Amino acid sequence: MNWPFIVVAVFLLSSCASLTHNGRNQVIVIDSRPAGAEIFVKGQLQGVTPALVEIPRGKRVEVEIRHVDFPSQKIPVAANYRWGRSFAGNLIWFGLAPVGWFVDLVKGSCWELQDPIRVELSETGETKPPQFRRLAIAPPQGPDEFLTDEVARRLESEARSRYPEAEVLPYRKTLPTFLEWEYDYDSVPSWSYRTRLLSALKVDRLLESEVSPRGKGEVTVDSRVTAFHTREPEENFKIRLRPEEVPVFMERRWTQKLGGLFRWLPNTVTVDLAGSVPTLKVNQIEVPGEGRYDDSFWGDVFRYLGALGLSHMEKQSERNIWQYRFQFVPALSVSWSDISYPAIAALNNQEFERWYAAVGYGPQFGLKSKYGHTYFQIIPVLAYSQIQFSNGGQDYRLGQGNIAAIMEIGYTYFFSDRFVTKFFIRRVNEDADLWAEAMEKTNPVLSQVLIEGVGYNYVGFSFGYHFSVGRNPLKNLFE
């Protein structure tokens, strides 16, 4: 076993983990009502509320809040596994990814801590906070369903922090009931419907709100706790969400700037697990190619890796509705393969190394629901193909660009906020003249052969990581 190599790999990964995943510590906001409480972490004073506090990441982290007028409170900090930055981030190391996962787990950098933390020490005025047993989060009134649903999830977390004695119903489970009683992001039911809505939900309070987008991606949420027996809110409060807390708003903001039909910026990087070996149409006969792969780790990787791509995808709706969608989307794809054509005897099993890259923008027709997104798209692309091979002691490198079209039928489904799967059938055309030149240089006899077309159809599976358009470096072009 190559122990020096493993030791060096662990050292490099442990160093990179701190750089890639923001290290072992995380800065979070800690606030209290009333303000002025001391914040202790592991017995050390970190500041006075409200404050930005840097605390070590971990699965079990606890902060203590002390105020001169109230009993101290020990607050467990919720921690979630960082699937994007820790798990997916270490995949770039391929075979060494498990080492990176282990290093992140040991150092604690694989955990994302709850942010912000708000602690209720007492009432802030003369009126006592409302006392109730069950609370439901109503769909916030906002510009679209995606922003509404994301803000509602933030309000759910806020409500659990503000009202620890109450049962806060999960927004996702109660949303169908709200929709049934005509309560959505752009509509509020009448007073008579509202009382029946509370009865159907079996709650005694609603948390209602209005969403107000502000400059630089910030969102203000004006919230109120309401009951069935009075039209006056029992409590009002306001929260401000930073851009990183509502990434979907950043994405929708760029869409609105550029027009509802246009999705200029890609927001998903994908790995296509499918073959990408072109078929030649020679004298009216289809001649399939065969992939050549080494018996090594990288050979196994490229045996199943069809292409790397960038595209624009949107999460499925949480509402039980079907929506037809027409939009223009970007596409970028890069693939590599070693190919031979044993059916053409004159080639003598010549092996070709092929690179293919395409970038384009075109129409997509889709049907969207809470079950996923089914679509058909035809993307005009600027493509570049390169073929490398050696023959007769001479190395050849042939390249040529052309305008083509990529046709695709597919189905996408987000199984989390960041990860998406895609099943697709794709048709890709390549430049026939380039392959004709390669055949002729391999064997002059083949100059008499007519290559009428080059392309391939294949069925594949894709795994993707979705990132916020608001963090896309290209966004500065549209400021």
Residue 127 lies in a domain: no
Q: Is the peptide bond before 266 cis (omega within 30 degrees of 0)?
A: no
Q: How many alpha carbons fall within 13 Å on the CB side of residue 89?
A: 22
CA distance 226 to 204: 9
| DSSP-derived pairing of the beta strands 117-120 and 25-33 | parallel
Give yes or no: residues 438 and 327 share one domain. Answer: yes
CA distance 336 to 380: 21
> pLDDT at residue 127 above 50?
no
Residue ending a domain, choose from 215, 245, 275: 245
Report DSSP state, residue 93: G
Place 262 in a pLDDT band, splitting at 50, 70 and 90. Answer: low
Take residue 2 and report the two structure tokens written for it. 């190559």
Of the chain, the percentage scoring pLDDT greater than 70 comes to 77
- Lowest-confidence region among 3-17, 94-108, 148-162, 455-469: 3-17
Give yes or no: residues 367 and 393 share one domain. Answer: yes
Report DSSP state, residue 248: H
Give yes or no: residues 165 and 281 share one domain. Answer: no
Give yes or no: residues 219 and 314 share one domain. Answer: no
Give yes or no: residues 158 and 88 share one domain. Answer: no
Which residue has 């001649």 as its token pair? 287
Give yes or no: residues 239 and 259 share one domain. Answer: no
Give yes or no: residues 114 and 172 share one domain. Answer: no
CA distance 20 to 170: 33
Which stretches within 56-144 are classed as H helix?
89-90, 97-107
Residue 194 lies in a domain: yes
In the predicted model, what is the mean pLDDT of the chain?
A: 78
pLDDT value of residue 421:
92
Task: Give the residue, 270 or 34, on which the prediction is more confident.
Answer: 270
Give yes or no: residues 339 and 360 share one domain. Answer: yes
Give yes or no: residues 413 and 334 share one domain. Answer: yes
Residue ending a domain, choose from 245, 266, 281: 245
Give yes or no: residues 212 and 342 share one domain. Answer: no
Q: Which residue segment(s) compose the domain that 196 sits in?
A: 132-245
> pLDDT at residue 1 above 60?
no
The CA-to-CA distance between both ends of the chain, in Å, stands at 54
Burial class (CB in 10 A: 0-12, 13-18, 19+), 113: buried
Radius of gyration, CA atoms only, the chain: 28
Residue 125 lies in a domain: no
> What beta strand segments (E) does 283-418 contain?
285-288, 290-291, 307-311, 323-340, 352-369, 372-391, 394-414
Q: Which of 322, 324, 356 is nearest to 431 (CA)?
A: 356
Residue 126 lies in a domain: no
Q: Which of 119, 94, 109 is nearest to 56 (CA)?
A: 109
Place 473 in a pLDDT band, splitting at 50, 70 and 90. Answer: very low
Render pLDDT for 39-57 as a digit per residue (tens, 0 to 9).
898 888 888 887 778 888 8
Q: What CATH number is associated with residue 154? A: 3.40.50.10610
CA distance 323 to 339: 42
Contacts of 172 (CB under 8 A, 6+ apart): 318
> pLDDT at residue 407 above 70?
yes
Residue 124 lies in a domain: no
Take residue 34 and report the two structure tokens written for it. 């009333």
Place 386 in a pLDDT band, splitting at 50, 70 and 90. Answer: very high
Across the range 461-475, mean pLDDT stands at 65
Predicted TM-score (pTM) of the model is 0.55
Q: Are 251 and 417 in contact (CB under 8 A)?
A: no
> pLDDT at residue 264 above 50?
yes
pLDDT value of residue 477:
39
pLDDT value of residue 256:
54
pLDDT value of residue 136:
93
Q: Is 239 helix (H, G, I), strand (E, B) or coil?
A: strand
Take residue 331 and report the two structure tokens written for it. 């596409």
Residue 285 lies in a domain: yes
CA distance 16 to 37: 37
Domain count for the chain: 3
Task: Give the residue, 88 or 427, on which the prediction is more confident.
Answer: 427
Give yes or no: residues 74 and 209 share one domain. Answer: no
The total of other beta-carbon atoms located within 10 Å of residue 99's CB is 18
Residue 263 lies in a domain: yes
Give yes or no: residues 26 and 154 share one domain. Answer: no
> pLDDT at residue 279 above 50?
yes
CA distances from 98 to 95, 151, 302 (A): 7, 35, 20
CA distance 128 to 405: 65
Print the SS3 string covering 403-442.
Answer: EEEEEEEEEEEECCCCEEEEEEEEEEEECHHHHHHHHHHH
Residue ending a domain, choose from 119, 142, 162: 119
CA distance 140 to 239: 13
Q: What CATH number is associated with residue 464? A: 2.40.160.20
Expressed in percent and rounded to 5, the helix, strand and coil fractions of the chain are 30, 45, 25
Take residue 11 and report the two structure tokens written for it. 């050292």
pLDDT value of residue 103:
66
pLDDT value of residue 470:
46
The one-letter amino acid at 35: A
Residue 217 lies in a domain: yes
Across the range 255-282, mean pLDDT stands at 72
